[in-house]
Structure 1
Amino acid sequence: MNLSSFDPLLLSVLAAVVGYLIGSLSFAVIVSRLFGLADPRSYGSGNPGATNVLRSGNKGAAILTLVFDALKGYVPVLLALQWGLSETVVTLVGLGAFIGHLWPVFFKFEGGKGVATAAGVLLGFSAALGGVVLLVWLAVAVVFRYSSLASLAAAVAAPLVQIVGWGFGPLSIGVIVMSLLLIWRHEANIRKLLAGQESKLGQKAKPAAPAEPQ
């Protein structure tokens, strides 16, 4: 598809909007409905993401949620690259998908924390970048058994790996923005980690605390 005739500003806006709409597909809720499970926003952390779906006890649903949440970040970025769009537009597509997961228009803007979608975006930006960041997540998760701690470590590592490996540019700005949003969305988890109250991977679900932000 030749998009060179499009106005650059209009193309950037359209790309970001399309990325956002794709990111707004909350697969934790969609998959849970297909499996006849409770809405993931109603138990555990209240977060519509793969980790919380795992707390339902259905590993298949959790795996599908993880895969599709990652794909909705990866596929739009990959398509933007294949269409020869600029690095700035590719960055906006990835950011759009990530922000769509956080505040999905199709689900009353009640989204997840964006870990899997961010991983998909990073893999789309660069397989090497995404691979290194995923290794950081996996190492911390295996050692400490806290998904939130692993996500925070990966969020810190991502911009460092991007800048050291590929220099500073539009993609770096996109990675920094995603990392800051990820850390912010984990504010409640940070408090729980410091208090020794954070749930470990695979821990059985508890009803969601009414006061805890989505």
Structure 2
Amino acid sequence: MIWHIPQYAWTLMAGIILLSYLIGSIPFGMLVSYIGGMGDIRQIGSGNIGATNVLRTGKKKLAVLTLLLDMGKGSFAIWCAYIFAINYTVQAESLAAILVVVGHCFPVWINFKGGKGVATGLGVSLALTPIAGLLSCIVWLLAARLSRISSIGGLSAFVAWPLFIMIFNHLDLKTPLLFPALLISLLIFFRHRTNIYRLSNGTEPRIGEKNQKN
């Protein structure tokens, strides 16, 4: 079972939980915006620290850099879990996957007011389940491009990711990595609850629009 971990190994798991949370808490959107001369990204557009809000500054390169760094920290947390807990990789990677996204959404450094988890979650999906993750990224890109709405891309990707995992595992609901995928997807949907409301009434802004709520 995924959570069958000997008592002596829980100290290691606690370290992975803390490390993953701290990795996720790095507010790359804020750092990139400051270094790029755009000031505090929290004072622009939606106030979110993610790539979509960075894009509203008009600096596409900064937005792409934010996206890549946020994805990278998701993958990096999984890699660290694999290295440090080689004998319990599924358990460690599952914990790392969940906590790095939690860290991005609720970073300790900025009063627990972070991003919505899509980029970091995609980075996790690529490292944790490469094929399902890649397909989910494709869904994200296609949905965002066709709708020109960032939230539709993100939400579509995290409907698709658990489904792809189940399909590749013959619809086995006991597939170990399905649990973290579902938990991350639920968290991302929770973080997008205002977006879902605006989607329902047709007021969700499109990609590239400035000074709009996201």
Task: Identify whether the pair has TM-score above 0.5, normalized to the shorter chain.
Answer: yes
Q: Find the counterpart in structure 2 of residue 49 from structure 1.
A: 50
- The letter for the 2-side match of 1:71 is G
- The letter for the 1-side match of 2:38 is L
Q: Find the counterpart in structure 2 of residue 197 from structure 1.
A: 203
- Partner SS for 2:177: helix
CA RMSD, Structure 1 to Structure 2 (Å): 1.8
Deviation at residue 162 of structure 1 after TM alignment: 1.2
- Partner SS for 1:7: helix
Deviation at residue 36 of structure 1 after TM alignment: 1.4
The structure showing larger relative contact order (alpha-carbon pairs under 8 Å, at least 6 residues apart) is 1
TM-superposition CA deviations, 1:115-172 (whole Å, max 9, x none): 0000000111022111010111111111111110111111111111112213433321
Q: Find the counterpart in structure 2 of residue 94 from structure 1.
A: 97
- For structure 2, the residue ranges without an aligned partner over 5 or more in a row are 1-5
How far apart in 1 are the matches of 2:74 and 2:149?
23
- Partner SS for 1:19: helix
Equivalent in 141, 160, 165 of residue 162 of structure 1 = 165
Q: Find the counterpart in structure 2 of residue 59 from structure 1.
A: 60
- Greater shift in the superposed pair: 113-122 or 193-202: 193-202
How far apart in 1 are the matches of 2:23 and 2:13?
16
- Partner SS for 1:48: coil
Whether 1:111 aligns to 2:146 is no
Seq. identity, %: 38
- Partner SS for 2:112: coil
How far apart in 1 are the matches of 2:47 and 2:152?
17
- Partner SS for 1:128: helix
Q: Find the counterpart in structure 2 of residue 184 from structure 1.
A: 190
How far apart in 1 are the matches of 2:8 and 2:96?
16
TM-score normalized by the length of structure 1: 0.90
How far apart in 1 are the matches of 2:119 and 2:14?
24
How far apart in 1 are the matches of 2:8 and 2:17?
14
Q: Find the counterpart in structure 2 of residue 171 from structure 1.
A: 177
- The letter for the 2-side match of 1:21 is L
Q: Find the counterpart in structure 2 of residue 150 from structure 1.
A: 153
Deviation at residue 108 of structure 1 after TM alignment: 1.4
Deviation at residue 205 of structure 1 after TM alignment: 2.6
| Contact map agreement 2:24 2:100 (CA 8 A) in 1 | yes
Q: Find the counterpart in structure 1 of residue 3 from structure 2.
A: none
How far apart in 1 are the matches of 2:202 and 2:42?
23
TM-superposition CA deviations, 1:79-117 (whole Å, max 9, x none): 323452420111101111110000001121110001000
Give aligned pairs, total: 204
Q: Moved runs in structure 1, 4+ residues, more than 6 A?
A: none
TM-score normalized by the length of structure 2: 0.90
How far apart in 2 are the matches of 1:137 and 1:37?
27
Q: Find the counterpart in structure 2 of residue 124 from structure 1.
A: 127
| Contact map agreement 2:82 2:92 (CA 8 A) in 1 | no
How far apart in 2 are the matches of 1:9 and 1:180?
25
